[in-house]
Structure 1
Amino acid sequence: MTVRIMLVDDQALVRSGFAMVIDSQDDLEVVAECSDGSEVVNALASTECDLIVMDIRMPELDGVSATERVIAAYGDDAPKILILTTFDTDEHLVSALHAGASGFLLKGARPEELLSGIRSIASGDAVLAPSATKRLLQQFSPRPPIAAASDERLQSLTEREREVLAQVCTGATNPEIGAQLHMAEGTVKTHIGRLLSKTASRDRVGLVLFAHEVGML
């Protein structure tokens, strides 16, 4: 199945470069382009799209605010969103992820990293630039042991679900989790689905944040 992608960046040259890289792949297709975050919701009304690759800093409406609008408008049916930035110190990282973005990469990433990130997010995984992961977790302090232990979401997890969650936090893919825990990939997907439901997480990024919040990391 071809993944339909919308590009959102205020620099036409950047959009063209990304489009050339993406359209060179048989399983990926750029179906729309926007020059600002303010155009995204209207564009989605007339374009079927699976994933949005969006710059975080734009003159009228930034990527964080645009992400919030998309999630507010489409909820669980919203396209996945991959946020791109020029600077790995961008202070909007946490805001973008909390707004509902499923990934965060640097514009300086190699083409193969961008393509891999797009495919990972399209398949339900989450992507974080390595330099961003440490900063992300530093933004959150684990709860005190007593508060963490009493968290109803944590208490609702089975031992097997906690094992799967621990693997998710290492960045392992479903096949890797299956190999590590000796279970079928389909079973891994089932466990991850239950984890998302029990922890009220939108995706794997949310699962990592939850695990850190309750002191599992």
Structure 2
Amino acid sequence: MAVRILLADDHCLIRGALRALLENEADIQVVAEAGDGSEALALADQHLPDIVLMDIGMPVLNGIDATRQLLNTHPAVKVIALSVYLDKRYVVRMLEAGAHGYIVKSTASTELLRAIRAVQNNQTYLCAEASNALIDKTGKRDPFAPVPLGRREQEVLKLLAEGMHAPEIGLHLHIAPSTVEVHRRNIMLKLGLHNIVELTKYAIREGLVDC
């Protein structure tokens, strides 16, 4: 089954170039195009894409806020940020909003297909430039960079670490247990963790729960 893609970018020429690139792939289908963040949310409701390619600097509603709102409504949808911005603040804010990938437009022709296939396989994909933006001069990840989890993911992680199960968390947050499981899988993939013990240790270390 083809991966269903929604393109969200305020430049029609860029959307056209991306569509042309993607339509050469038999396993990828572009289902809709949006020119701003608000339109992206409406089209996501209508078409339920697998992945949204989300520009950051869009009018009406920027890509960061659009990503946050989209994933609160459709947590199973995956977002790849596609931007000209390489400042660490933008990379971190998109990851906090829940994005599963971040690539710069200058590398889209070579990295976009890899990013889509990685994210569709539940991996996080950062282009080299975005990864470098998160690493300090010593080669270590900046310890003061915020946790790359969205608000809802942090809420789910906190409750998991406190010993709640998916049905209880669903009742507490007013979401379906299956949605809780989607968040749990995404959290573990983003953080590279493998079980509830590791999740709990991480939550304590980050101050999300008391030890």
> For this structure pair, what is the TM-score category when the shorter chain's length is used for normalisation?
0.5 to 0.7
Matched residue type, 1:3: V
Residue identity over aligned pairs, in percent, reads 29
Partner of 1:54: 54
1:92 counterpart residue number:
90
1:102 counterpart residue number = 100
Matches within 5 A, 1:143-158: none
Cα deviation, 1:77-131, whole Å, max 9, x if unaligned, reads 3x10000111322632111101110000000005231111111101111101212
Structure 2 unmatched runs, 5+: 135-140, 147-159, 164-180, 194-198, 207-211
Question: What is the TM-score when the length of structure 2 is the normalising length?
Answer: 0.67
Task: Please give the residue correspondences for 1:28-47 in structure 2 after superposition, counting only pairs within 5 Å.
Answer: 28-47=28-47
CA 22–130 in structure 1, closer or farther in 2 if over 3 Å, else same? same
Q: Is the 8 Å Cα contact of residues 88 and 130 (structure 2) preserved in structure 1?
A: no
Q: Distance in 2 between matches of 1:139 and 1:86?
A: 25
> Relative to structure 1, is the Cα distance of residues 12 and 2 closer, same or farther in structure 2, using a 3 angstrom cutoff?
same
Give CA-to-partner distance per residue, 1:6-51, whole Å, 9 cap, x none.
0000000000000000011011111100000111221122213100
Query: What residue in structure 2 maps to residue 112 of structure 1?
Result: 110
Structure 1 distance, partners of 2:133, 2:92, is 9
Checking the alignment, whether the CA contact within 8 Å between 1:125 and 1:203 is kept in structure 2 is no
Q: Secondary structure at the match of 1:26?
A: coil
Moved over 4 A (4+): 210-215
Query: What 5-or-longer segments of structure 1 have no aligned partner?
Result: 143-152, 157-193
What TM-score do you get using the length of structure 1 for normalisation?
Answer: 0.65
> Residue 96 of structure 2: SS of its match in structure 1?
helix
Q: Which aligned pairs between 1:1-217 and structure 2 lie closer than 5 A?
A: 1-74=1-74, 76-77=75-76, 79-89=77-87, 91-136=89-134, 137-138=141-142, 140=144, 197=184, 201-202=186-187, 204-207=189-192, 214=205
Q: How many residues align?
A: 163
> RMSD value over aligned CA atoms?
3.1
Letter in 2 for 1:56: I
Displacement of 1:205 after TM fit? 2.9
